[in-house]
Structures are given as structure tokens and as C-alpha cells.
Amino acid sequence: MSPPPSLAAPEAVHVAEIPEAAALEVSVLVPVLDEEGSIVELAGRLRGVLEGLGRSYEIVFVDDGSRDATIELVRELHRADPRVKLVRLRRNFGKAAALSAGVEHSRGSLVVTIDGDLQDLPEEIPRLIEKLESEDLDLVSGWKRQRRDPLSKRLPSKLFNQVTRLLAQVDLHDFNCGFKVYRREVLEQISIYGELHRYIPVLASRQGFRIGELPVAHEQRRHGSSKYGWDRLYKGLLDLITVLFITKYTRRPLHLFGGVGLLAIAAGFAINLYLAVLWFFGHLLSNRPLLLLGILLMVLGFQVLSTGLLGEMITFKSFRRRDSYSVKETLE
């Protein structure tokens, strides 16, 4: 498919040669899916903002299975300016996979993530970086305080953010916002898969990284259509349960399974003790369903407790010391 005639590629830009292995100061990762209407404008605005920073940079578009002219447009942009790069996935793997691929193929010590639909303003990038550096933070997340989305997107997002903030105990207002700036070590030490990209601040916080938030402007979508709906809510809640489990109990599974198992054993023991007292005083137990419940609870409790012990054994055998901590600085 050829690029739309109205979206002409920019003129070639002369760029000083940078050795391939050299580190850059800023990498901007842009996961895209069928965003042909916004690619050229977004790249131009990003270049203008990043030139104003006076730092070395690259713009990495990660195509997550687009079927329109997005890929051809990025190729044209790359030919005009080699600092614009393309990582093309073979199919639609999801945003978490796209971000992981972008991190792996980027070199900036600071990593900015921004959606490709022009709803996030590239002009906000200097403010995010300034907050990150001035307050010595490791991650700054954008907060779309005034969202320019339809009610069908705002309501589930608001509910999702409230539940996540309550359960995860991370003081952010907008976990869904993809507009963030990171120090590279955050993304290198955190593994994300499925749809866990929304919970990078939670995972980073559990690792001891310092998290901040900054209100950012938000625009209405002018091109294409949203890729999300109400299903994001229940999927997000299931992913939240996953995050809470892997951040709290991955290294201590018996604390979770053991607690549930001991509670069931205690309840079953109390029921059976009560029934034993009744039997001692001559009451028949054959017609009491409570007896079955007491036995069932004790059996279930021992099974759950055993699951926790097996989890501890697996954790012990697969334990890697470097995964149990995160180092910020050393002086030797």
C-alpha cells in the first residue's frame, strides 16, 4: 500500500554521524498500530521538541502489526532522517511487547514513551524530563487530568485508576497514561508481558525506584480510532491481581498459600471440635452436613498449605541472588 498523497515525507535532514554503539541521551518510543494519519506530523513535532533540548536523540516507531500505510511512512521518515527508526513486529503482539521491543532496540539513557495518535502533546516532553531530573526521580508518569475522550472511555478508566491506586498503594492518578519518561535502568530491570505495561509504575515502585507524576495536556483523537474499550476494565483488574501477586509473593509463596491454608484448617478444626463435643454428650452426627464441611475445610487447608510449600521449594531451586534486589549506586 502506498502512502496517502496528502502525507508527503519531509525533506532530508543532515545529521552528524553517531557511532552505532554510542549511547544517546534520549530515546522516544512510539508504539503504533494503523496510525498513518498522524505519523508524519508526530515525527515532525517530536524532532522540533528534541532539537530544542539540545541533546542527542532517536525516535523509535514500533509497529505492532499495522495494515495501513504506517510502515511506508516511517520508512520515508527514516530515509530523510536516520534518527527516526522503525522496529516492525511480525503481527499484533500488544503494547507491552511493542514497548519491550522498543527498549531492546533503543540506546537512550532516558526513555520517553508516547502514543502515536497525537492525543499526547510532544511539547510536554521537556517538562517531564525536567521533573525527572530536578527531583531525582526514576520514572515520571503523565496525568491526563482533563481527558478529551468520550464518556465510554473516561468512566472505565476512572474506575480502573481508583481501584488500582487503592490496591497497589501507589499514589498515581492515571495508570493508563502511556506518556512517561524513564531512566533506562527502570525498563531494563522490569519484565513486562501481556498487558502489564499499565502497571510499570507499580512494578517499579516495588523495586524501590522513585515515582512521580505530572499533569499533561490531552487532545482529542483526530485520526484513526481507539483500540480499547470496556474490556480493558476487567482485563486490567485481572492483570492487577497478577501484579500484586508477583510483587508480594513471588519470593514468599507460603505467605499467601500458607495463610489461606491455615485459616481453612483452623475453621475445619473448630467445626470438628464442636461436633466432637456434641458426640461426647450423646448427639448423633450422621445427619449433620456440618461434619462434611469441617472435614472438607481441613483437607482443603492441607492441600493449599502443601501448594505453598511446593512454591517455596521451586523458589529456592530457581532463586537468583541478583533478582532479589536493585542497586542504585555503588562506590568502590
pLDDT tens digit string along 45-94? 999 999 999 999 999 999 999 999 999 999 999 999 999 999 999 998 88
Distance linking the first and last C-alpha atoms of the chain: 57
pLDDT exceeds 90 at position 110: yes
SS3 214: strand
In sequence order, the 6+-apart residues with CB closer than 8 A to the CB of 125 are 28, 46, 49, 50, 53, 112, 114, 181
Asked if 175 contacts 104 with a C-beta cutoff of 8 angstroms, the reply is no
Q: How far is CA 254 from CA 51, 168, 266, 311, 313, in A?
A: 53, 21, 17, 7, 10
pLDDT tens digit string along 260-287? 899 999 999 999 999 999 888 878 877 7
Give 233's pLDDT tier (boundaries 50, 70, 90).
low
pLDDT exceeds 90 at position 106: yes
E strands of 135-288, at which residues? 139-143, 180-183, 211-215
* Residue 3 confidence (pLDDT): 45
Instruction: Indicate the pTM of the whole model.
Output: 0.75
Q: What grid cell was written down for 8? A: 508527503
CA 247 – CA 233 distance, rounded (Å): 21
Give 23's pLDDT tier (boundaries 50, 70, 90).
confident
Residue 218 has phi, psi (to 5 degrees) of -140, 135
Q: Which residue do the cell numbers 473448630 mark?
A: 270
* Residue 6 confidence (pLDDT): 42
Q: How far is CA 153 from CA 85, 94, 149, 219, 297, in A?
A: 31, 19, 6, 14, 43
CA dihedral 72, 83, 176, 134 (to 10 degrees): -170
